[in-house]
Amino acid sequence: MCGFHACKKDEGTTPPDGSTDDDNPPVGGTFEGVIEYVKTFGGSNEDEAVDVVQANDGGYVMVGTTSSNDGDITDKTTTDPDYWVLKVNAAGEKQWSKTYGGTSPDRATGIVKTNDGGYILSGHSRSNDGDVGGNEGFHDYWIVKINSVGDIQWETNFGFSGSDQALNIIQTADGGYFATGFLDVTASGGMGNDGRNPEHGVGEYWGIKMDANGNKIWRRYFGGSNNDRSYDVVQTDDGGFLMIGASESEDFDKLDPKGSYDFWVVKVSAGGDNLWSKSFGGSEIDVAYAVTQTTDGNYMIVGDTRSIDKDVTNPLGNADLWVVKFNKNNGAIIWQKTYGGDQFESARSVERLPNGTYLISGSTRSANGDVSMNIGQNDAWVMIINENGELQYQKTAGGTSLDFADSAIQTTDNKLIVVGNTESNDIDITVNRGIKDLLLIKVK
């Protein structure tokens, strides 16, 4: 339990230059690959973190959802889900905790540190009271801007009568914001596609470009007749956007379906025009959750695949963590690789590290293949791959119950912070506070 397991996809091989993993530590010369601490936060109900950023003071700011009104949650009296932001110092000690929402369920999905030292939060809300200034139907995109100590500076909602959910947000080069997720097009009656001819579907990728104050500049949806959900987005070098996620459609904007659900990439211009799209996958369910730009200017997406054919050439288990690197200009696959063992693996985040390797967080149920050990049921799993997809380090953490990692970052002191949730109360998890706790792991 004390260290990252150093390995290659081809065990026992040595790189052509004669170097080893130890010659090229993944996150700086002082990286040891051992757990510095594991901490849990929350109350007696369900609490989780889905994303994390490093604060300017060296601490960490996590966002997630809480249904608790006790323990670490001190500003909430109800047990309906609310956005939850938790700030800890570098040692993992709580500094402040704040919740945001109304009297109906509100669930956070992402956080980004903004240019002014504050933070922008994405998620979806069913409330029309409390901190929530409006609701257009069932779920709305709910975007919340907070300052460095968690005070709301502004909030805004977007949606129609159905379930419209923001699943991530970024700050754009012009100081504005771009939120991605999905729109219930059936419920909106085709609305939400400003400036583009409506095309009808069930649920489609929905991108909303905002200015620095959250005012809508444009909004467009992309997809087909079935379910399409965008989980992540990056701004491209030309000022446009690359929206990624999963698509079940086989028509309209979806031109190259592969199977049940596909990894689906949509490249849009700075003004929201659809420039091209690309599907990756096989005959079964393949879902992409995160994207990053690679050192050579191309892109890498991560998620999971249940397929054993077409683009998936090396299936390992029931579901594999799947990484696809593709060309920035047309989406052509540069390489794709599966990781895991004979059970179920999935990736939820990917971040490019300064030395050109890539940090991926997710979960695993396996105890073989690329996975060094299984602690119990589902474990939080973090791994590092190089530019060619070769596995450099990997580590499981958790207890004998369900443990998940949803986001991981490199810190300014060359360590790793991993966040997610846990239902365990043993092994790595020394304190269990409720049904499900926010999980924080630091690796030095």
On whether the CB atoms of residues 52 and 419 are closer than 8 A, the answer is yes
The pLDDT, as a whole number, for residue 25 is 47
318 vs 304: CA distance, rounded Å:
10
Q: What percent helix, strand, coil does the chain show, rounded to 5?
A: 0, 50, 50
Buried/exposed code over 270-296 (b: 16+ C-beta within 10 A; e: otherwise): bebeeeebbbbbbebbbbbbbbbbbee
Give the residue among 179, 200, 196 at the shortest CA–CA distance from 188.
200
The pLDDT, as a whole number, for residue 198 is 76
On whether the CB atoms of residues 51 and 62 are closer than 8 A, the answer is yes
N- to C-terminal Cα separation, the chain: 13
- Got the DSSP string for 230-262? EEEEEE-TTS-EEEEEEE---STT--S--SSBE
On whether the CB atoms of residues 362 and 381 are closer than 8 A, the answer is yes
What predicted TM-score, i.e. pTM, was given to this entire model? 0.94
113 vs 417: CA distance, rounded Å:
16
Query: What is the phi/psi pair of residue 8, to 5°?
Result: -115, 160
- Specify the 3-state DSSP secondary structure of 185: helix
CA distances from residue 4 to 364, 380, 441 in whole angstroms, order as listed: 15, 13, 13
Task: Name the residue with tokens 């809508």.
Answer: 216
87 vs 421: CA distance, rounded Å:
16
Beta-carbon contacts of residue 97 (< 8 Å; ≥ 6 apart): 41, 72, 73, 74, 75, 84, 85, 86, 87
* Pairing label, strands 106-113, 119-125: antiparallel
Count of CB atoms within 10 A of residue 367's CB?
Answer: 15
User: Cα angle at 119 between 115 and 124, to 5 degrees?
Assistant: 135
Handedness of CA 215, 217, 223, 229 (dihedral sign): negative
Number of H helices, E strands in the chain: 1, 29
The pLDDT, as a whole number, for residue 178 is 99
pLDDT digits (tens), the chain, 444 positions: 333 333 333 333 233 333 333 334 454 557 899 999 999 999 999 999 999 999 999 999 999 999 999 999 999 999 999 999 999 999 999 999 999 999 999 999 999 999 999 999 999 999 999 999 999 999 999 999 999 999 999 999 999 999 999 999 999 999 999 999 999 999 999 999 998 877 767 889 999 999 999 999 999 999 999 999 999 999 999 999 999 999 999 999 999 999 999 999 999 999 999 999 999 999 999 999 999 999 999 999 999 999 999 999 999 999 999 999 999 999 999 999 999 999 999 999 999 999 999 999 999 999 999 999 999 999 999 999 999 999 999 999 999 999 999 999 999 999 999 999 999 999 999 999 999 999 999 999
CA distances from residue 150 to 49, 67, 120, 236 in whole angstroms, order as listed: 16, 19, 10, 29
* Pairing label, strands 5-6, 177-184: unpaired
The pLDDT, as a whole number, for residue 29 is 57
pLDDT in tens, 261-271: 999 999 999 99
The pLDDT, as a whole number, for residue 31 is 85
201 vs 260: CA distance, rounded Å:
16
Count of CB atoms within 10 A of residue 56's CB?
Answer: 10
Query: What is the phi/psi pair of residue 216, to 5°?
Result: -65, 130
Give the residue among 153, 123, 158 at the shortest CA–CA distance from 137.
158
